[in-house]
Structure formats: C-alpha cells, structure tokens
Amino acid sequence: MTTKKHWFFSLPYYLWLALFVVAPLVLIFYQSFQGLNGHFTVQNYVNFAESGVYLKMTFNSVWYAFLITVITLIISYPVAYIIAQFKSRDFWLALIIMPTWINLLLKTYAFIGILGENGSINNFLRFIGIGSHQLLFTDASFMLVAAYIELPFMILPIYNSIVAIRPSLINASLDLGASRWQTFRRVILPLTKNGVFAGIQAVFIPSLSLFMITRLIGGNRVITLGTAIEEHFLTTQNWGMGSTIGVVLVVAMLIVMLLTDDSGKGVHR
C-alpha cells in the first residue's frame, strides 16, 4: 500500500521530468543530427569542431561564466556570513530574494537607463565635471549586470550552509584556543563547502548560456554560445546547428555539475 501511495504522489513529478526535461533534451540531441534539408548528418558537429568562430564562442562563454561566478562568490560569501549573524536575518534575506521577483528583461532595461549615455551615472559624472563615458556595450558592464542578476543564487545556498553549522562546533574551536580566522578557515569554510559548490552550479551553469544580456548590455562585443543559439534558431533558421551548440552547452553543464558535486561528503546536523 505504501509503495502504491509513493508512486501515486511521485507520478506528477516524473511526468513533469519526462515532458519538460528528458523530452526537450532528446529533441535537441536528435535535431543536432539534422541538416538544413532535414537529412541525417554529423556535419554540424564537424563544423563546430573545425570552426574557429565557434571555438572562440565556447572559450568566451566559459571565460565570462567563470568571471561572473568568481565575482558573485567574492561578494556573496561575506554577505551571506554577515546576514547569518543578524537577529533580523529574515528581513535582510528577503531583501536579497526580492529582486528575483522582477522580470529579467525589466531589470536589464533598468540597467540600460542607469548605464546609458543619458543615464544616471553619466549625468552624475557630467555634474561633477568628469564628463560622460561609454559604459554600455562593454565587457565590464556585461559582467556587472550579469553578476547582479546571479547574485541571489550564490548567496542563498551559502547562507543556508552557514546557518546549518552547529554553534557548538564554533564555540569548541574558540575554546580550544583557535583564533577567529583559524576557526573560519578550519571549521566554517569546510562546513560551507557544499553551499559554495551549490552556488557555483547555480551561477556558472546559467551564465554559460546568457544571450539577452549579451545583446542588450554587451552589444556585439560580447559573443557567447547563447548568442549563437539565438541567432541560429531565430535568424538563420539553422535549427540543426543551433541544437548542436545546445548539446555542447548541456555537456559543459554536466561537466561543471560533476566537478562541483560534493553530495554526501559534508557534515550535517
């Protein structure tokens, strides 16, 4: 009876998984072997491997995703640690979560208004006599906006891993003569490793396939695989090549997940 109940309540999850995860992946993989005429071919993968343009896009995607992840990690760990010490941490955590409720496109256009030629920053620079500068369509502006958008997804898993640490472990370290820095390095940091890895997955993987921010904020300076996928599906109508790039991204994401998988190795309550 228990097994039947388990399957009954699990059925919606497995249906959702099959329809919206497995089926799209199978479709993309199948489509990647289709030529422009609909015939079976491996030429899409050959073109990808032999094209310097696609290899450069792959490098750019990994490099920008790496930089965005590093920036968000450097900011997120101290923020998560400080919030975890507050008595009113639920309030501060809500402030971190609230920006995720706003549509991504709206946030991107808001940054266009801030960084544009007649935006808030340039108006302030002109006011103090420095003069306006080209802030939009640069690598720095792209990474700034992308890091801002991804920041909550790095803070939350790190915060959860910090609050899960038993205070007695920290107190024991201090009582045994360890300094605050030694306690952080030898106790807190190892125990929050799972949260850091989860945050890296949550930021690095989506950052690999960014395309809207690259268009609106980075302009033509920032070209990634996500941009190429958009171009092939919406402009050139070469769905086979677009699917091939999608398969490459999926493989890259799986590699990242394997490299940052630390399940079952952490210390739990």
pLDDT per residue as tens digits for the range 28-53: 999 999 988 889 999 999 999 998 88
Fold of 42-259: MetI-like fold (1.10.3720)
- Within the chain, strands assigned E span none
Taking 70 as the threshold, does the pLDDT of residue 213 lie above it? yes
Taking 80 as the threshold, does the pLDDT of residue 259 lie above it? yes
Instruction: Give mean pLDDT, residues 8-34.
Output: 90
pLDDT computed for residue 194 by the predictor: 93
Instruction: Give mean pLDDT, residues 79-107.
Output: 91
Q: How far apart are CA 165 and CA 134, in angstroms?
A: 45
Q: How far apart are CA 157 and CA 149, in angstroms?
A: 15
Q: How confident is the prediction for the chain on average, in pLDDT?
A: 89
Q: How far is C-alpha 53 from the chain's CA centre?
A: 24
Instruction: Note the pLDDT tens digit of each residue in 118-136.
Output: 888 999 888 888 888 888 8
Question: Cβ distance 64 to 207 under 8 Å?
Answer: yes
Domains of the chain, residue spans: 42-259
Confidence of residue 260 (pLDDT cuts 50, 70, 90): confident
pLDDT computed for residue 264 by the predictor: 45
pLDDT computed for residue 263 by the predictor: 57
For the entire predicted model, the pTM comes to: 0.87
Instruction: Note the pLDDT tens digit of each residue in 97-110.
Output: 998 999 888 999 99
Q: How many CB atoms lie within 10 A of CB 199?
A: 29
Q: How far is C-alpha 255 from the chain's CA centre?
A: 15
Instruction: Give mean pLDDT, residues 10-32.
Output: 91
Taking 60 as the threshold, does the pLDDT of residue 75 lie above it? yes
Taking 80 as the threshold, does the pLDDT of residue 24 lie above it? yes
Taking 50 as the threshold, does the pLDDT of residue 67 lie above it? yes
**Tokens describing residue 200:** 């890296």
Share of the chain above pLDDT 70, in %: 95
Taking 60 as the threshold, does the pLDDT of residue 169 lie above it? yes
Tell me which range, 68-77, 110-119, 227-236, is most confidently predicted by mean pLDDT.
68-77
Query: Which of residues 258 and 4 earns the better pLDDT score?
Result: 258
Q: By 3-state DSSP, what share of the chain in percent is helix, strand and coil, each rounded to 5?
A: 75, 0, 20
